Amino acid sequence: MTETIRLGEVSIRVTRKDVKNVHLTVHPPNGRVTLTAPAATRLDVARAYAISKLGWIRAQQSTLTAQAREAPRRFVGRESHYLWGRRYLLSVDFQDAKPAVTLDHKRIRLTVRPGNEESQRAAVIHEWHKSLLHHVVPPLLRHWEQRLGVKVERYFLQRMRTKWGSCNPEAGHIRLNTELVKKPKDLLEYVIVHEMVHLLEASHNDRFVTILSEHWPQWREARQELNELPLASEKWGR
C-alpha cells in the first residue's frame, strides 16, 4: 500500500513492506522522496519520522539541485562528449556514406550524410553507445552470475530519467540506463551488481544491504560518486 505525506513543499511517498527498519531516500535527479516502513507502521508514526528528518531531506534536495547537469548536446564539431568517464571532442564529417562512429585517443568521429539533422545525429550516437554497452555488459553479467549464483535471463538498455538501473526479479530481467556509457566502467559494474543482487532479494532491506556489502564493499562510495557526476540533459524522454 502506498500513501503520500506532505510536509509543506515536500511530498513523500510512503510504502509499507516486510522490512525491519525505516528507509528514507531522496532520489536523483529531481529530489523525489520515498519512505519505506515496516508493514505495521501507522501513517502518523511515519509522518513523525519524516518530520524529524526534514532538515536532512531539504539538504539532500538542495545538493541535487546544485549538481552539475550536462548542457543539451547539439552533436556538432568540437562539442564535448564523455565516454567511460573521459572527455572527448566530437568531429562531424558529412559524407554520402552509411552513418558511422569511430573513436581515437582524443576524438569521437561521427560520419553522417549531408543534411543530416540534429535528432538523426543524436540517434546515431545513441546506437553507438548501446553497441559499446552490449560489448561490455555480457562479460560482467557472466562474471557476477557465477559470483552471486543467479541467472540474468535478459538485459535491456534504455534511456532512464530517474534511475541508473532496475530489476524484475520474477522474470530475471535487468535494465540499464544508457547514460552509464559516459561514466567510469567501475560504476557501470556497481550498478550491474546492485541490480543482480535484487535477484536474491527484491527489496532494499537489511538482507539486500548485507549481500551487496559482501560482494561490493565500497558500494556507498560508488553510489555517491555516481550521483555526483554530471546528469544528462533532460531534453530527451524515457
Give me the percent of the chain exceeding a pLDDT of 90.
64
Reported as a single tens digit per residue, the pLDDT across 138-182 is 999 999 999 999 999 999 999 887 789 999 999 999 999 999 999
Query: What are the Cα distances from residue 127, in Å, to 72, 99, 157, 209?
Result: 18, 11, 10, 34
Residue that the C-alpha cell 543539451 belongs to = 72
pLDDT in tens, 53-89: 999 999 888 877 665 556 677 888 888 888 998 889 9
Residues 6 or more apart from 198 whose CB is under 8 A from it?
167, 169, 174, 208
User: Domain residues of the chain, as ranges?
Assistant: 2-66, 119-228
Closest among 30, 33, 69 to 228, alpha carbons compared:
69
The topology under which CATH files domain 119-228 is Zincin-like (3.30.2010)
**57 closest CA partner among 17, 6, 1:** 6
Which whole number is the average pLDDT over 105-111?
91
Q: Give the predicted TM-score (pTM) of the model.
A: 0.70
